[in-house]
Amino acid sequence: MRLVIDSGNTRSKLAIYRNDQLVREYKYVNADLLANELWTVDLEDVAADIKLCCGCSVASHEVKSAIEQGLRRLAISVNWLVSTTTWRDVKNGYSEPEKLGADRWFALLGYRSEAHNNCMIIDAGTAMTIDWMDASGQHLGGWIVPGRRLMHESMHQKTALVKGELTEACFREPATSTVTAMSYGVHYALVGAISQGLHVSRQRFNNEPFDIVVTGGDGERLIQSLNRIESFSYIRKDDLVFKGLLAAADNELSRR
């Protein structure tokens, strides 16, 4: 069995794979990882069977250390993988490749390990990222947009607007209260960014076909709203980063 870790800005996800099949997944809020050492109880019954552990992180050093210390108690050592210049035929589009967020890089590799088409990858988490890669494996760059909750919290912190929770149901219509106006506005700001991303895709890929790949907790609701405006098909991949990490780890092992 293999343990794979995707440590993000707000949450860390851990997944266990057996023969390339996902068998378990755990999600932890990073603040809870720092405050509670007992999260490793979830892994105790499988720890002895884990033959490889790898991960990527855009979280703080403290969160990474908390994960390492917890796994050490189970005699598991994690190999943190980072963005590189190339992987097989995938070429990093950044002039300083190591500065491309590791989660974005491994999402590209996760897609490439399964398909070789032009693609637009949308990852809607704490931040929403959009990355483009052509059929040759060239990463063309991407966008980073504050995510739904990040935008919402920023408005609360920087303005005197009424406090309130995000509304889960969002409609493409004027809102009649400040709380819902904020929720609708944040949601459709992100939908608008994706819509513009589709126009960029058509231009960069010269109107040739391209895959739209969606991952991240808010991805489904955003893409469904956009689908009411323009018709297109998309691919949902919840384990895209995990697949990229596994592919990179396998590649590294094969070179040894």
What are the catalytic residues? 103
Contact residues for 9 (Cβ-Cβ < 8 A; gap 6+): 30, 58, 59, 125, 126, 127
Contact residues for 209 (Cβ-Cβ < 8 A; gap 6+): 117, 118
Contact residues for 104 (Cβ-Cβ < 8 A; gap 6+): 83, 123, 129, 131, 142
Note whether 101 and 58 are within 8 A (CB). Answer: yes
Residue 236's H or E segment, with its range, is: strand 235-236
Note whether 139 and 93 are within 8 A (CB). Answer: yes
Contact residues for 138 (Cβ-Cβ < 8 A; gap 6+): 91, 93
Q: Facing residues of 16 across strands?
A: 3, 24
